[in-house]
A and B are shown apart, each in its own frame.
Chain A
């Protein structure tokens, strides 16, 4: 059934449809309406879950870690400084291999204080061992949450479902709310191999020595490095599992396609704009304009940022004249994090083949700076027609 609602409601409905058992969250703009909605669902009995109000984001994720360790499907959501405040637990959840799903409603980080959208918050968590999915509209928000639980529980890795604060969280648009029956078909109840049980006490994730050693049962147990290697290894493999999730989703719900990237007019494009989130949909409008001017441009939205779909991207961008990477975040002191990752993927797979595109980085919308479509188009046009700059170009910078 199609409804018109905002992105936070799309997320809340996704969480309800996934029959989450435990929700713990601390309100922060622009995530607040999502948690309010979930507490309403639980209060009214519409959703059978424990809603645990906590005093901080750190505790919110700590509750989810405990709930997940005990075999519960758990959910939290946050933004910006809230995410930074839970950072220690973010790392812990990944190391403990718990399939928690968290929405990150993307917002600029302080200082200075700012409640508006950019993606510095989730990008700064890139290396924590969480899978990161970026959404471009409300359909992707609700669908991604459903897919995320299936994938997280399959690979035992937590997932951040990221969507732009305000631009998606507070904007209303139509989207389809999947049938509960179909969601149940897609997503079976969470049934972990191991769950905490009061009758059989156990220590989890205690001090783990640098070297492998015999455990209490006399079996050879992994050292810290083996455990961390496996997190990396299985995260890389989760790309394949994500493809399986996508296929199942398409079979049951009749929509979806490529789990990693979302191309628009890329096949015959000479130049491709690349980005994360709602900006990639706005860029479609710019590309339409440039196409009318005879410029062969396309857009590539990246859905999965971690694990990085390097092979899919290299294949899709092979032989293009130019790639223009738009980012709402950066790795201070160098350039956008995404452009570095992308250049690394292109170098890895295309160097020496004569098919390596030129890459330009553009920074936009930091701290909610308005991104006018006309300005975006002009910057894309300039990047295509002009010289590549060594430093990133900032749209709308007045300095």
Chain B
């Protein structure tokens, strides 16, 4: 059901919310490259400008289109938001502008049922724990969360994303990173 959401999407806007140092830019870049290879000739990824600090809330915009993108301005009304840390829900207005029926990908240790959906589609997984289980150092979650994104959407093939992860991390535990994404894919709970 859920995966049908993006069957015919020609223009997708994803906003990534993480903390400085969590690797949100790398995650967005992996998705951007998979999208480009999959035939989306327009991909534009714009990180927060000038205010990045380790641990502070940061944001990255990713626009994916069938055509070249001329508008590089920040995303105002995302289709999807990816939240690296559930505590950001209280710290920043992460759902700002999210389209009605939009998707929230959330890394949280809490149960799916804990959250009220407000008309959005929610996908949750404890990526922090899953990543450790996959053999990654504690706190490395930017590859695992791609598994949740793949589970909740279907505009990109999961295999393509796994390939992208292994390529990006070819010198830094490629198998553990892709395993984190695979486990996350299996364990992600979605609903809306």
Using a CB–CB cutoff of 8 Å, the interface residues on chain A facing chain B are 2, 4, 29-30, 115-116, 166-168, 170-174, 278, 281-282, 284-285, 368, 370-373
Shortest distance from the beta carbon of B42 to any chain A beta carbon, whole Å: 8
Check if A174 sits within 8 Å of B41, measured CB to CB.
yes
Interface of A is mostly: loop
Additional 6 contacts, C-beta under 8 A, given A170-B46, A281-B72: A4-B33, A115-B50, A167-B46, A167-B72, A282-B73, A371-B73
Contacts of B49 in A (CB 8 A): 30, 116, 166, 170, 368
Task: Report the nearest B residue to A117, measured CB to CB.
Answer: B49
Contacts of A285 in B (CB 8 A): 70-71
Check if A281 sits within 8 Å of B70, measured CB to CB.
yes
Given the interface pairs A2-B36, A166-B49, the reply to whether A173 lies near B69 with Cβ below 8 Å is yes
Contacts of B33 in A (CB 8 A): 4
Contacts of A170 in B (CB 8 A): 46-47, 49
Within 8 A of A (CB), among B23-77: 29, 32-33, 36, 41, 43-47, 49-50, 69-74, 76
**Contacts A/B (CB < 8 Å), 26 sampled:** A2-B36, A4-B43, A4-B45, A29-B50, A115-B50, A116-B49, A116-B50, A166-B49, A167-B72, A170-B49, A171-B44, A171-B72, A172-B32, A172-B43, A172-B45, A174-B36, A281-B70, A281-B71, A281-B72, A282-B71, A282-B73, A284-B70, A285-B70, A371-B73, A373-B71, A373-B73
Contacts of A173 in B (CB 8 A): 43-45, 69
Contacts of B43 in A (CB 8 A): 4, 172-174
Check if A4 sits within 8 Å of B74, measured CB to CB.
no
Contacts of A172 in B (CB 8 A): 29, 32, 43-46
Check if A171 sits within 8 Å of B45, measured CB to CB.
yes
Interface-central residue, A166, A284, A370, by most chain B CB under 10 Å: A166
CA separation between A167 and B47, bound complex, in Å? 9
Task: Report the nearest A residue to B28, measured CB to CB.
Answer: A172
CA separation between A30 and B36, bound complex, in Å? 26
Using a CB–CB cutoff of 8 Å, the interface residues on chain B facing chain A are 29, 32-33, 36, 41, 43-47, 49-50, 69-74, 76
Task: Report the nearest A residue to B45, measured CB to CB.
Answer: A172
Task: Report the nearest A residue to B29, measured CB to CB.
Answer: A172
Shortest distance from the beta carbon of B37 to any chain A beta carbon, whole Å: 9
Task: Report the nearest B residue to A174, measured CB to CB.
Answer: B36
Shortest distance from the beta carbon of B165 to any chain A beta carbon, whole Å: 15
| Contact among A171, A282, A371 with B46 in the assembled complex (CB-CB below 8 Å) | A171
Contacts of B70 in A (CB 8 A): 281-282, 284-285
Q: Which 6 A-B pairs have the closest CB atoms?
A: A172-B45, A281-B70, A166-B49, A171-B46, A285-B71, A284-B70
| Contact among A166, A171, A373 with B50 in the assembled complex (CB-CB below 8 Å) | A166
CA separation between A256 and B124, bound complex, in Å? 47
CA separation between A373 and B41, bound complex, in Å? 21
Shortest distance from the beta carbon of B86 to any chain A beta carbon, whole Å: 27
Task: Report the nearest A residue to B33, measured CB to CB.
Answer: A4
Interface-central residue, B69, B70, B74, by most chain A CB under 10 Å: B70
Task: Report the nearest B residue to A280, measured CB to CB.
Answer: B70
Contacts of A370 in B (CB 8 A): 73-74
Contacts of A368 in B (CB 8 A): 49-50
Contacts of A373 in B (CB 8 A): 71, 73
Contacts of A168 in B (CB 8 A): 72
Task: Report the nearest B residue to A115, measured CB to CB.
Answer: B50
CA separation between A174 and B47, bound complex, in Å? 15
Contacts of B44 in A (CB 8 A): 171-173
